[in-house]
Amino acid sequence: MASPYKASGHHDLPTPEPDSPSLTRPRQPYRFSTLCATVDSPDADHKDQHGSSSVPIYQSATFKGIGNRYDYTRSGNPTRSHLEHHIAKISSAAHAFSVSSGMAALDVITRLLKPGSEVIAGDDLYGGTNRLLTYLRTHMGVIVHHVDTTKAESVIPVLQPGKTAMVLLESPTNPLLKIVDIAGISALVKEKCEEAIVVVDNTMMSPYLQRPLEHGADIVYDSATKYLSGHHDLMAGVITCNRDDIAKNIAFLINSVGNALSPFDSFLLLRGMKTLAIRMDRQQSTAMLVAQLLSKLGFVTHYPGLPDHPGKEIHDRISDGYGAVLSFETGDKELSERIVAATRLWGISVSFGCVNSLISMPCVMSHASIDPAVRAARGLPEDLIRLCVGIEDPADLLDDLRHALIEAGAITYAANDFVRIPNPINRAVEKLALGEPRMEPLRDNREWFVSVPGKVILFGEHAVVHGVTAVAASLDLRCYGLTSPRHDGKISVHFTDINDYKHEWDLDELPWDAVVPIPKGDEHPESLDLRVIEAIKTRALPLESQMPPKTHAAAVAFLYLYMMMTCSSHRPSFHFVCRSTLPIGAGLGSSASFSVCVATALLILHQRMELPSLPPPTREPTAPGDPGHVNLSHQGRRAIPPALAEETNRWAFVAEKVLHGNPSGIDNSVAVFGGALSYVRPGFGRRSGMEHVQGFRSLRFLLVDSTVPRDTKALVAGVARKKSAEPALVAQLLDAIQTISDEARRALADPELPRGALLSGLAALIDENHAHLVSLGVSHPALEAIRAKTSASPYNLSTKLTGAGGGGCAVTLVPDDFSDDDLQTLIDALKADGYQPYVTAVGGSGLGILSPYDPIVVDQQDDVSPPMSPPMTPSPRDEQEEPFRPSIRRRFEEVDVGELSQWASGRGKWLYV
């Protein structure tokens, strides 16, 4: 039952008796902030003999004597007793316990369960809570029911007398801030299932704003790491209850398990709790301003203080405030990531409750352990951003958030106010679903132009195979793919940079009987369909020995993706041309760029992905002799939808498997997303995965193709043999390379590091990294000759091999102040030695897509002479219904490779990831 003083900010808790007989009435109970700041002794035995105003730290594991109150700190400690007395006092509790973390508190509570016990829990829970419940269900025989606890009646169907042992609630929930009627559900549970205990995670509110024991809960726990401590300088959890039987069992469990809070942490928590009220007053008042700002801008904002928040009336009835945590949706996961990365005052962290403001994306961080399908089923948006407000000046926090929103492209300043920029994904999109015949000719009659960067591994070559971090970045050397429509039931390819290879297939003669296609929206299985691969090799292509080098694998990858994506009777008929400014086979990700080009083109033509609707066309002048090209408008944010980028990356990885067997995935990821990222391969005891290097600044490099072929598998096998023969030496080298990668990543992501210091630091790391690779035995005389040339006076540049080594390519860092004359002299000298140098920049944009607004007409003169058969032109009926324009295919195939990049960039307004 709620305290009669609750509404006025008072609490009916123990206070001193009048000390003057002249007073005619007793003193009023202390208010909460006074209770927080006033730490009294649990009883007379705890009074400090020296009158200390701060509770002493009894940093002792044992206590002398027999039969005394304390004998062993695991069982009890005076400092912890003061803390637990204080927690009970401010929580309306008879008993309180402190343990090593919030999850340790829940672990103790769930140990009250037995195999076969049933637990009812909410469907919007903290990720760690969900993880523990999953473990109990999987390993301990506990049955868990997840229901929408915002509707009290949803508990009734699974509330079983004799079976239901626990009902676990959060209000507000984390991170959607859903409101649960703790009082209503508690009363319902007591009525229907008296033996069940109601447990409430009160971390979001703390005892200052909500005391669930007053509303019928049996046990309440908090992660005291959060608001109770308030400074994120300790880990702690607290448990409170009023029932003596429950308290006895919890005390027994804590003593048995040994997870009671240490004396020093008890002291820190007790100190932090003194400022709980004053901290939360500031935090929640600022949180209201932040929520109002986001709501006004049009973001879906979750905060109990907003007037339209679902369940607000329930929250107002059981709580004294709205807390300092809120969340909002942007409608675009990639946009959310940019917003989070652009903040300065808001620190990126999985936690909350600190005096410093924090920001996070729950689906990527705190709730990442929940299966994506489960997150989707529970309505947890992948784009959700959670804000945890601290005690900084409100004006500074609001200003920093506005700047992050502007920098990310979410809002702009117009008409003397900040306004939201419409999200392209939420605007009208072309309906590309299969089976919409009106859309098929529209897509089939266009040319689609795709641009994909190469990649360079800046640090960590070879070591990545053995679990060491690699740092890779995109190049402005790119691969280009162009699809041109055919209307004759055939598909054809022209791989201009792979021996100028050309081939065409009759669609009806492909081995469709071997294919079980992947439905639209589904992901390709982890393993390739070897039956399809074999059918393509034996029935759709000549023998590999009868084809030019590298063309066989490229054709197999192309056909495999085309056939696995075909899930309807509609089979797009088109010609695919691929060109590249990247050197092929030099370790610069040319195969990944090719894979991304193919995957993107096929996803578009198979109508498996939605693209932003096209704006009205604007025609721009083209070069003399070029056909007119229709460009996308400048209006709106020109960006490839994140879903398309992610889907492209998945299918490009499939193509890479066809080409290489067991790729790491780093090459295709850089090719799709651009910029720079770090990668750690799973299975080596480190946290695996890829992470973008935020804040990466463009760097100038000289890439030198040694023109010496390399055998990646042989080189990797050689390192493995060396590791087996000399494990200590190789381990030392790999550790050294890991350190280099870590230092390089920190430097590249540090916005405060001066440019000069960055370049000199990277130069030193490049030299050191190369020396370790030489020690691993993966260099080559040609690479060493290139390195000797570039490091000699007057150049004095730092060079290392990239990729697998054994030939391939060398990369040389070119400082900003390096003269163009010296660079040209160096290039000429390298060419004279038979090498092929390229001046490039790293860290640019990723996948780009360009489509004209109008369908095209293909002239028969644009087609390659036999054995290629010319595509048919669109019928006169189609021409009358829609305007057509000339194809750019012939010019694309003929333009000199040195002019290709400039020519491609002038085709129109590209959409980039």
- Please, what's the b/e burial string for 220-256 (b: 16 or more CB within 10 A of its CB; e: otherwise)? bbbbbbbbbbbbbebbbbbbbbbeeebbebbbebbee
How far, CA to CA in Å, does 67 sit from each of 41, 152, 566, 824? 21, 49, 80, 88
Contact present, 524 and 602 (Cβ < 8 Å):
no
Q: What angle do CA 80, 84, 85 make, to 5 degrees?
A: 115
Token readout for 441 is 């000719």
Burial of 512 (0-12, 13-18, 19+ CB in 10 A): middle
Amino acid present at 899: E
Sign of torsion, CA 452 453 459 462?
positive
Rounded Cα distance between 379 and 122, Å, is 12
Sign of torsion, CA 769 775 778 779?
positive
Radius of gyration of the chain (CA): 33
Rounded Cα distance between 350 and 361, Å, is 8
Rounded Cα distance between 42 and 36, Å, is 15
Task: Determine whether 697 is an active site residue.
Answer: no
How far, CA to CA in Å, does 329 sit from each of 125, 404, 625, 643? 18, 15, 49, 16
Task: Determine whether 126 is an active site residue.
Answer: yes
How far, CA to CA in Å, does 713 sit from each of 459, 465, 681, 780, 809? 20, 11, 17, 15, 16
Sign of torsion, CA 756 758 761 766?
negative
Strands 836-842 and 501-506: unpaired
Among 310, 77, 96, 308, residue whose Cα is nearest residue 211: 96
Rounded Cα distance between 816 and 756, Å, is 9
Token readout for 880 is 């009358």
Question: Phi and psi at residue 678, in whole multiples of 5°?
Answer: -110, 150
Task: Determine whether 333 is an active site residue.
Answer: no
Task: Determine whether 853 is an active site residue.
Answer: no
Q: Which is the catalytic residue, given 89, 178, 211, 226? A: 226
User: Angle of helix 590-605 relative to helix 642-660, nearest 10 degrees?
Assistant: 130
Burial of 502 (0-12, 13-18, 19+ CB in 10 A): middle
Token readout for 511 is 């081995």
Rounded Cα distance between 676 and 697, Å, is 9
Q: Which is the catalytic residue, given 107, 123, 124, 201? A: 201
Rounded Cα distance between 861 and 814, Å, is 45
Strands (E), 383-447: 385-388, 411-414, 417-420
Which run of H or E residues covers position 219?
strand 219-223
Contact present, 333 and 365 (Cβ < 8 Å):
no
Sign of torsion, CA 531 535 536 542?
positive
Token readout for 305 is 């203080």
Q: Which is the catalytic residue, given 74, 163, 402, 571? A: 74
Rounded Cα distance between 346 and 400, Å, is 8
First to last CA, the chain: 56
Rounded Cα distance between 789 and 830, Å, is 8
Largest CA distance in the chain: 115
Among 326, 327, 332, residue whose Cα is nearest residue 283: 326
Contact present, 648 and 672 (Cβ < 8 Å):
yes
Which run of H or E residues covers position 167?
strand 164-170
Token readout for 829 is 């000298």
Contact present, 165 and 143 (Cβ < 8 Å):
no
How does DSSP classify residue 616?
P
Residues with active-site annotation? 74, 126, 201, 226
